[in-house]
Each structure stands twice: as structure tokens, then as C-alpha cells.
Structure 1
Amino acid sequence: MSWAVRALSLLACLGLWQLLTATGTELWLRFDNLPTVVEVGERLAEQVGTAEFHRDLAQSLLRILTGFAIAAVLGVALGVVIARSRLLGDVLRPPLEVVRPIPAIALVPIAILLFPTNEQGIVFITFVAAFFPVLVSTRHAVRALPTIWEDAVRTMGGSRWQVLARVVLPGTLPGVFGGLSVGMGVAWICVISAEMISGQFGVGYRTWQAYTVVDYPGVVVGMVTIGALGYLTSAGVELLGRRATRWLPREAAA
């Protein structure tokens, strides 16, 4: 039933879009300048049949998955280290906290100077965008763990590594996957922006190219493609998170 409601909601939005644009409605916002749903659908059908469209999809997915994977590994590892070690926390937190408020997209000039190719620079921007949400959520999740869990394992003779493997990592999974979900969304925003600025291939680059030649249906096709890719990858992260935390009472109840 929920899927039917979601489908009807999407169809209603598309119907309203078609109505407003086809009739050239001007209610402060000028819908007469936007392409209709039919025009966008026709443009999408044209692009789907080209090798260029599939190459852009593959390029954007490769960039996002590479940067996100590196961010996930380093973000979780450093989040646990900073939360568990006061010394390393004192050493690592100041430089990280100074860099964290800087928008990842603002680092594009630095990436251009640092990396020999635009491809590496875009992956770096994607990594930075996803890294900090994962790091912060992991750090807070580790600190929120009840100390009685660790005390119980140590009372039974568990070592530090056993505490880490049996208590810390499983106990932080809900918080970690929350950060991963947020990080994926932020990473898509930044990778598309980076592609528009310095990319040669990718969905963001192609969307900007469509805008420069006044191909507005092509612009909307790019936007819809970005939304679909972002939804699918975020849904994949959330599905993996639900599978990894099936032991939670709320998951069992659901």
C-alpha cells in the first residue's frame, strides 16, 4: 500500500508540472520558461540511447563510489580512534575541526593545484564531502556507547581488541550508517558541482553543457538523472545499514 501512495504522489507532482508548463502559467513563478514533462521525457529517451549518456553515468558513479569508499574507511577508523584515545584525539581533532567547516566544493582550486589530473581532484572533493559526516557520526556513536557493555566484556577477561570487535564496532553501526547516509547525499552534491567546474565527463558536466547551449530539456534530464542516482545510492546504503543492524529491537519489531 505504501508503494502505491508513493507512486501516486510522484504521478501527482508530474501531472502538476505538466499542467503548469503546458499552459504557460505565471503565478509569480514563470512556468512558461520551463520544459514540459513530455519534452523532458522525449529528451531523456534520446539520451538514453546514446553511448555518451552511459559513459557519463559510469564516470559519475565511479567518482562517487571511489571517494565515498575512501571516506567511509578513513572516517570510521579515525572516528573510533579519536573517540577512544584522548592523546590521538588531542592531536587529530584541532586540524580536522579547522578544515571541517570549509565546504568541500570550496576546495576545488586547491584540488586543481594539488592533483595532476582533474579526475583525481574530483574524487578528492567527493572524499572530503563524505568524510566529515562519517567521522563526526562515528565519533559521537562511540562516545554514546554505554560503558557497562565494555565493563562486562573486560570483567569476563576480554582484551582491548575484543572490546573493539565485539562491543565498539557493532554498537556504533546505527550511528555509522546514519553518517554514511548523510555523507552519500553530500558527496553527490559536491561531485556534481565539481564536474560542472572542472570535469570533462559526467552527469554534472553534461548538465552544465546543456545549459550553455540553452538546451533546457537536457538540463532537466540531467537533474532528474542526478536525483535518481542519488536516491539509488542512498537507498543502497540504508538497505545495507538495515541488514547490518538487524539485531536492533526496533528493526525486529518492524
Structure 2
Amino acid sequence: MSSPSGALPLRTGRSRSRRTFPQGRQALQAASLVACIVLWHLAATQRWHFGLVTFANVPPPAEVLSAAWALLQSPKLLAHLGSSLLRVGVGFGLAALAGVAGGLLIGRLRVARDTLMPPLEVLRPIPAVAWIPLAILMFPSSEGSMMFITFIGALFPILLNTIHGVEAVDARLIASARSLGTRPLRLFTEVITPGAAPSIVTGLSIGMGTCWFCLVTAEMIAGQYGIGYYTWESYTVQNYPAIIVGMLVIGVLGMGSAGTVVAAGRWLMPWTRPAGGPR
């Protein structure tokens, strides 16, 4: 018979390691951010020079922090944030609907693939910047053109990932569902869509990041408010710390929105989570 004194420390040690492991990850992540800031400070203040790359004109973190505080006190902050979030929300929402629906059809129906994929493959390599003049001609308002640019940027990652997800669904599951008398509509909703869901969420996350990339490009040319316009305006007036503030705001918003998409996908797909939880 084993003594309790030999079993209790083993269980306690395991539970402690499981509780402290997330804290260790958070400490490592925070340390990596601090290290990047320290290197940035040293490179800007010491004016490091590496061949073709120089940090002589890069503002240090202290100046960027001062510019960020000025932006927080600016009455235009809410207008910049609201404009960018609205454009991304509308463009991404439309791209999600069109990309997921189109990907399910193209991935499953040969007729849809033969008729829709050739023109889509021609349009897919066109960069967002090349769409801006045509978007201005197509839409009477600048808001519509910028939303269209974000839509185009997010559409193709969502579409292609959905197609790959549908193609990766196990054919045995589809055959089993058909043998049980599942109708085509329920086959889509109960077999194909859940099976392709992980790829769809990946495409949505990538599309959200592309949305912000395309939005900044559009706002630099056609916007009056928005974080991209704020960044470009700061460059034209040679307010270099504000440029980095705009870049960091875009990065935080893009990371937060993409992370929200991934978290929502995990919540909606409990069957994809491992039994032991995330590691």
C-alpha cells in the first residue's frame, strides 16, 4: 500500500506547474516587448547605423510616448478611430459573407469552381493600391471606395481558406451522411461547414489583418479621418513621432481584432479544443 505522503507532493507539484505555466508565458511575452523597446531606445539615441539602414532620424520611445499622449488629448482621436473601425467593420463583414459563402460553393460544386475561379484568380494578384483609382471612379463617395478596398483585401484570404477547408473534409464523413439520408442543405450546414470551420477561422483572421493593411493604404490617398490618414498627415508635416504612434495604433487594433476573431472561432468550435485545454 502506497503512503499518502508519497502521492500528495506529486499531485501538488503537477497542479502548481499547470497554474504557473501561463504566468511564465506572460512573463516571457512581456520581457520580449521590453527588450524590443530597449533596443529601439538604444538604436535611436545612439544613432546606430547598419550599412543601408540608419536610426539617426528615428524618434526614441520617449518622444513617441509624448506624441501618443498628445493624440489621446486630441479632439480628433474619436473621429480617427471611429472612421477606421467603421470602414474595417463594413468591409470585413461583407468579405466574410461573400468569402465563406463563395468558398463553400466553389469548394463543393464543380460548376461553381469552373465558372467563378478563373476570374477570381485573375483578380487575386492585383494589389490594393491598384484598386484605388477604379474604386474612386466606381463609388461617388470616398467612404464607399475605402470600404470597397478593405472588402477586396479581406475577400481572397477568406475565400481561399474556406475552399481549402471544404476540400480537406473527410470524404468518408460526407459518404456516411449521404448514406443516412442527409439532404444537401443539411450536408452543408452539419457536415461540410463544421469540418471546414478551422480553416474558415484562419482565413477570417488573416483577412482581418489584410483589412487593416488595405485600409491604411486607402486612407492615405482618399481619407480625411482615420488612423491611416493620421499617419500620412504626420509624415507630410514632418511629425515623425506621430508616425510611429499611428503605426503602433494600427498594429494594436489589427492584433486585437484578429485575436477577437480567433477567440470567437474557438468559442464557436468547442470540438477543436484539446481535452487538456490550450497549451
| TM-score higher than 0.5 | yes
Any conservation in 2 of the 1:142–1:168 contact (CA below 8 Å)? Answer: yes
Contiguous gaps of at least 5 residues in structure 2: 1-23
SS state at 1:33 partner:
coil
Equivalent in the alignment of 1:13:
36
Asked if the contact 1:242–1:251 (Cα under 8 Å) also holds between the matched residues in 2, the reply is no
Q: C-alpha offsets along residues 92-150 of structure 1, whole Å, 9 cap, x if unaligned?
A: 11111111111122100000100001110000000000001111111111111111111
1:184-233 Cα deviation digits (max 9, x unpaired): 11111111011001111100111110000110011111111111111111
Q: Which runs of 5+ in 1 are unaligned?
A: none
Deviation beyond 6 Å, 4+ runs, structure 1:
none
3-state DSSP class of the match of 2:271? coil
Q: Give the Å deviation of 1:251.
A: 6.6
Q: How does 1:74-93 map to 2 (within 5 A)?
A: 74-93=98-117
- Pick closer, same or farther for the CA change 1:149–1:229 going to 2, 3 Å: same
CA–CA distance in structure 2, aligned partners of residues 214 and 247 of structure 1:
52
- Please name the residue that 1:22 is paired with: 45
C-alpha separation between the residues in 2 aligned to 1:227 and 1:251? 33
Q: Aligned-pair distance for 1:252? A: 5.3
Q: Give the equivalent residue in structure 1 for 2:227.
A: 203
Equivalent pair of 1:173/1:244 in contact (CA under 8 Å): no
Letter in 1 for 2:210: V
Counterpart residue identity of residue 185, structure 2: W
1:3 has 2:26 as partner: yes
1:246: how far off?
A: 1.8
Residue of 9, 31, 49 corresponding to 2:73: 49
Question: For 2:47 and 2:101, how far apart are their aligned partners in 1?
Answer: 54
What is the TM-score with the length of structure 2 in the denominator?
Answer: 0.88
Q: Do the aligned partners of residues 11 and 213 (structure 1) sit closer, same or farther apart at CA in structure 2, a change above 3 Å counting?
A: same
**Deviation at residue 51 of structure 1 after TM alignment:** 2.0
Cα pair distance change 1:171/1:252, threshold 3 Å: farther
Count of residue pairs brought into register by the alignment: 254
Percent of paired sites with the same residue: 41
TM-score normalized by the length of structure 1: 0.96
Alignment of 1:49-128 (within 5 A): 49-128=73-152
- After superposition, the C-alpha distances for 1:18-50 in whole angstroms (9 at most, x for unaligned) are 122123333433222111100100110111112
How large is the RMSD of aligned CA atoms in angstroms?
A: 1.3
SS at the partner of 1:239?
A: helix
Q: Is the 8 A contact 1:245 1:251 kept in 2?
A: no
**Cα–Cα, structure 1 residues 8 and 140, in superposed 2: closer, same or farther, change >3 Å?**
same
Structure 1 residue aligned with 2:4 = none
Contact 1:211–1:219 (Cα < 8 Å) also in 2: yes
